[in-house]
Amino acid sequence: MRIDLDAKVFFDCNYCRFDWRQSLIQICYVRLAIVPYTAKLLRFIIILLFSLYLLYPPPVFAVSIETSLALGLEKSQSGDYRGAVIEFNKVIAIDPDNASAYQYRGVATAKYGDFEGSIVDYSKSIELNSNRTESYGSRGIAKARSGDVAAAILDFDVAIQLNPEDGSAYFNRAMAMDMVNDIQHACLDWKQAIKLGSKESKLFLRKYCG
């Protein structure tokens, strides 16, 4: 009998005898031959397992990511921005494609005055998730504070296009318009921001728009 498999395993039983009187089965000869093709199969299995490991990381990684994100946000809220950056760095080291980690790190980086660094992080967050409204808004603020007001306005434009109900985006664009002395458009944005619940816009509307 011959069974031909990918692993090239051959079974050869040349002689078998059943002795009823002794109630024994005597197998006289069995040969198992495995040819080098087995190495290719083994290599394939190893590559497959490694790929699955990358696609589905162990649960401990997921726990570490969530823990570090939460701890980073907690440190940001308490004013420990550099400590927050360290936590977000841990997340990015485990998951380089985590858009939230770049967004949060950008915010923490901007808080201690590194606007250029924060712009890099916001841009990476947008690259990973182009529909992330808050990243456009945050990058717009960083660009405005870096002196690139025209580019900031473009980011606020995109943020508003993605979410027309975002009052903070209208408020921020109004502030940028005010920086370039476009009071007319600034007033329009403050008015829209007020409709969407922006309380701070009322002060600027009263002061600059009559």
Give dist(CA 87, CA 65) in Å, integer.
Answer: 9
Task: Looking at 79-199, list the stretches that DSSP marks H as alpha helix, in order from N- to C-terminal side.
Answer: 81-94, 99-111, 115-128, 133-145, 149-162, 167-179, 183-195
Q: Which tens digit of pLDDT belongs to each residue from 89-141?
A: 999 999 999 999 999 999 999 999 999 999 999 999 999 999 999 999 999 99
Identify the three-state secondary structure at position 179. helix
Q: State the pLDDT at residue 163.
A: 97
Average pLDDT over residues 16-43: 50
Q: Which residues pair with 26 in a beta bridge?
A: 17
Statement: residue 16 has pLDDT above 50: no
Of 38-42, 46-50, 165-169, highest mean pLDDT: 165-169
Q: Are strands 31-34 and 24-27 parallel, antiparallel or unpaired?
A: unpaired
Q: In which residue are the tokens 């089965």 written?
A: 25
Residues 87 and 98: beta-carbon distance below 8 Å: no
Give dist(CA 2, CA 196) in Å, integer.
Answer: 78
Q: State the pLDDT at residue 164.
A: 97
Q: State the pLDDT at residue 10.
A: 33
Give dist(CA 101, CA 121) in Å, integer.
Answer: 9
Domains of the chain: 9-55 (no CATH), 57-114 (1.25.40.10)
Average pLDDT over residues 4-22: 40
Residues 191 and 208: beta-carbon distance below 8 Å: no
Lowest mean pLDDT among 53-62, 85-94, 193-202: 53-62
Q: Which tens digit of pLDDT belongs to each residue from 145-164?
A: 999 999 999 999 999 999 99
Q: How confident is the model at residue 48 (pLDDT cuts 50, 70, 90)?
A: confident
Q: In which residue are the tokens 């901007």 written?
A: 110
Of residues 101 and 1, more confidence is placed in 101
Q: State the pLDDT at residue 148.
A: 97
Q: In which residue are the tokens 């476009």 written?
A: 182
Average pLDDT over residues 53-57: 63
Q: How confident is the model at residue 39 (pLDDT cuts 50, 70, 90)?
A: low
Across all residues in the chain, what is the average pLDDT? 83
